[in-house]
Copies of this chain bind each other. A is one copy, B any other.
Amino acid sequence: MRLNITSSTSSDGVVEQRFSLGEIPGVLWTPEAATGPRPLVLIGHGGGQHKTSPRVVAGARDFVTELGFAAVAIDAPGHGDQPRTPELDRAFTDMRTRAAAGEPMFELVAGLHTMLAERSVPQRRSVLDAVAELDRVGGGPVGYLGMSLGCGLGVPLVAAEPRIRAAVLGLFGALGLAEPAARITVPVRFVMQWDDERVPRQKALALFDAFAATEKTLHANPGGHGDVPEFETRDAVRFLARHLS
């Protein structure tokens, strides 16, 4: 399957191209006038967000302008421009109903992630295949960056995908992820919020514990799910630069 580029814009040294790969909607960022292979960072957005949410775009532009890397993001199943399906609609409705009835939100969200990952992992792997065919990306090393839903879908992806050489993950916990995490041996940066209202502290620590990587670092900061400090973003760029350059 080949990438179908549907639009291309350029600003401040960064080319942003929207594409479709079959029914998968995505965006690719590369340096202007780029030729030849370069490291690629695959960015997984958070729950309720999409491939061009502000944090995704800002991160992608950092990788391109500071490191000369390429970056790519696709919508997660049930998000952004992905086709809706009756099965996904039922799952989202069911989750909201059970949450309103007082079921623990973390468990409900973890269950949803597991379901979404079944679709998301093969979609992302096929995007890596297609992007590697472009001469300005090529088959170089790949990094992964994803928090919250981006972690829930990222852990099984990183476990399954040998092209991914390093990953920044976080804002989620062990439920359903300990098994794939135990298959991850590439360097991992794991970011958690010490007072996360959505992810129990012990579940986050247990996920960090589960990674099989010999180089793994936990970064914890005070505050809630949405309060990750700006310096962690800078640090994620340095971490992936160190492992992919």
> Which A residues are within 8 Å of any B CB, using their own CB?
194, 205, 208-209, 214-222, 229, 231-232, 235, 242
Contact = CB atoms under 8 A, between A and B. Distances in A.
A218 B220 contact: yes
A215 B229 contact: yes
A107 B205 CA distance: 24
A220 B206 CA distance: 13
Contacts of A209: 194
Given A231-B242, A242-B231, A216 B221 contact: yes
A219 B209 CA distance: 13
Contacts of A235: 235
Contacts of A217: 219-221, 229, 232
Nearest to A208: B220
23 contacts: A194-B208, A194-B209, A194-B218, A205-B205, A208-B220, A214-B222, A215-B221, A215-B222, A215-B229, A216-B221, A216-B222, A217-B219, A217-B220, A217-B221, A217-B229, A217-B232, A218-B218, A218-B220, A218-B221, A219-B219, A220-B220, A231-B242, A235-B235
A220 B242 CA distance: 18
A219 B218 contact: yes
Given A194-B209, A231-B242, 5 more contacts: A205-B205, A216-B221, A216-B222, A218-B220, A220-B220
Contacts of A242: 231
